[in-house]
Chains A and B, each alone.
Chain A
Amino acid sequence: MSQTTLFEQHFWKESNRTLEYYLQSMNGYQAAQKVLKEMSPDQVIDEVKKGNIRGRGGAGFPMGMKWSFIPKASEKPKYLVCNADESEPGTCKDRQIIRYTPHLLIEGLIIGSFAIGCKHAYVYIRGEYVREAKLLNAAIDEAYAKGYLGKNIFGSGFDLEITVHRGAGAYICGEETGLLNSLEGKRGEPRVKPPFPAVSGAFGCPTAVNNVESIANVPHLIRMGGDAFAQLGKVDKSGGTRLISLSGHVKKPGVYEIQAGSMTLRQIIDHLGGGVINDKKLKAVIPGGSSSPILSADEIDVVYDVEPLMKVGTMMGSAAIMVIHEDTDLVKLLMRITKFYEHESCGQCTPCREGCHWMESILHKIIHHEAKPSDLDLLVDVAQNIGGKTLCALGDAAAGPVISFVKKFRPEFEAYIKGQKIYA
Chain B
Amino acid sequence: MEKHLSDKFYTAMKKLEPRYPTKKALILPALHQAQEEYGWLPKEVLAEIAEYIGVHAAQIREVASFYTMYNLKPVGKNHIKICTNVACCLRGADELMSFAEKKLGIKCGETTPDGLFSLSEEECLGACTTAPAMMANDDYIEELDVNKLNDFIEKMKVVKS
Contact = CB atoms under 8 A, between A and B. Distances in A.
Contact of B66 (A77, A188, A253, A328): A188
A194 interface: no
A163 B19 contact: yes
Interface in A333-380: 333, 336-337, 340, 343-344, 346
B6 interface: no
Nearest to A203: B21
A128 interface: yes
A10 B5 CA distance: 42
B68 A168 contact: yes
A161 interface: yes
A251 interface: no
Interface string A307-335: 00000000000001010100010000100
A148 interface: no
B128 A322 contact: yes
B100 to A, nearest CB: 18
A309 B112 CA distance: 47
Interface residues of B, number: 42
Contacts of B62: 187
B27 A248 contact: no
Nearest to B26: A185
Contact of B126 (A95, A163, A328, A343): A95
A243 B89 CA distance: 23
B157 to A, nearest CB: 23
Counting chain A residues whose Cβ lies within 8 A of the other chain, the interface size class is 35 or more
A165 B29 contact: yes
Contacts of A120: 19
A69 B63 CA distance: 31
Nearest to B89: A336
Given A128-B69, A184-B25, A253 B19 contact: no
A136 interface: no
A246 interface: yes
Nearest to B68: A169
A336 B126 contact: no
B119 interface: no
B140 interface: yes
Interface string A76-108: 010000000011111110110000000000000
A92 B128 contact: yes
Nearest to A244: B129
B63 A185 contact: yes
Contacts of B140: 131
Interface stretch (B80-88, B103-111, B147-155): B80-88
B125 interface: yes
A343 B32 contact: no
A154 interface: no
A77 B63 CA distance: 26
Given A95-B126, A129-B126, A254-B129, A187 B84 contact: no
Contacts of A336: 84-86, 89
A50 interface: no
B123 A344 contact: yes
Contacts of B98: none
Given A186-B27, A248-B90, A253-B129, 9 more contacts: A127-B67, A131-B138, A131-B140, A168-B69, A184-B25, A185-B26, A187-B62, A322-B86, A322-B87
18 contacts: A86-B126, A89-B87, A89-B128, A90-B124, A92-B127, A127-B67, A168-B32, A168-B67, A169-B67, A171-B123, A171-B124, A186-B24, A246-B129, A248-B90, A286-B86, A333-B89, A340-B85, A346-B66
The 5 closest A-B pairs by CB, nearest first: A168-B67, A185-B27, A169-B69, A169-B68, A89-B124
